[in-house]
Structure 1
Amino acid sequence: MLAFYQNILYNFFISLGVMIGGCLFGGIAATFNGHPPLKTMLDLCEKIKIWAIIVALGGTFPSFKVLEIGIFNGEIRGLVKQVIYILSALLGAHIGYRLIYYLESSGPL
């Protein structure tokens, strides 16, 4: 049971880290290339959100396999666990997106 809660936290923080790290380093690259960093960061947030979720889940095939077994073989417990893992990763990616979005909107007054 402890591993279940640990995996929820891992999924959340991995997807959050992918979002924030990817967008921040993308903003640095945009600065070096002469593009507006905050606009580039927002564009990257929209593009890498799904990838942050996939990275947190460890790829798509194990997740789909668990979903398939849960749906077709009636193993509801595994299905519920996988849905919670997906929601945790989705929440982490969304919070990362919102943090970058708030960073952009907190410009000079």
Structure 2
Amino acid sequence: MEQEFWTTAVLDFLIALGVVLGGVILGGLGAFITDEYPMFKMMRLAEQLKIWAMVAAIGGTFDTIKNFEITILGGQLNLAFQQIVFIVSAFLGAHTGTVLVRWLIQGGF
């Protein structure tokens, strides 16, 4: 059970990271093709994709919120804590992707 918890937390982190990095790379390619300034577009995309990366990583906001409500009202605080860890893990993955993009294109501004 504990291994499944950590596996899910790591997967949430990496999925959110991948959504941000993949979206930024493909969005930058699209900006280049359409003759826009790719680095500026990539930074904007990284910021805009953060919330969507979190949603994709945790499997949809409504399911997570519903599970969170059920576990708190049911008195299962350890499961509520697990849901919080999954959300924080997804946030850290999305934020890490944004920081990596900023670091990679820092010379472009």
Q: TM-score range by the shorter chain?
A: over 0.9
Residue aligning to 2:87: 86
Provide TM-score, normalisation by structure 2: 0.94
Provide TM-score, normalisation by structure 1: 0.94
Structure 1 stretches of 4+ moved >3 Å: none
Which consecutive unaligned segments of at least 5 residues does structure 2 have?
none
Distance 1:53 1:101 in 2: 18
Distance 1:20 1:106 in 2: 18
Shift of 1:107: 4.5
Conservation of the 8 A alpha-carbon contact between 2:39 and 2:108: no
3-state SS of the aligned residue for 1:34? Answer: coil
Residue aligning to 2:7: 6
Deviation string, structure 1 residues 25-46 (Cα, Å, up to 9, x no partner): 0000000000011100001011
What is the aligned-residue RMSD (CA, Å)?
A: 1.3
Distance 1:32 1:92 in 2: 28
- Percent of residue pairs bearing the same amino acid type: 38
Residue aligning to 1:68: 69
Shift of 1:48: 0.9
Residue aligning to 1:96: 97
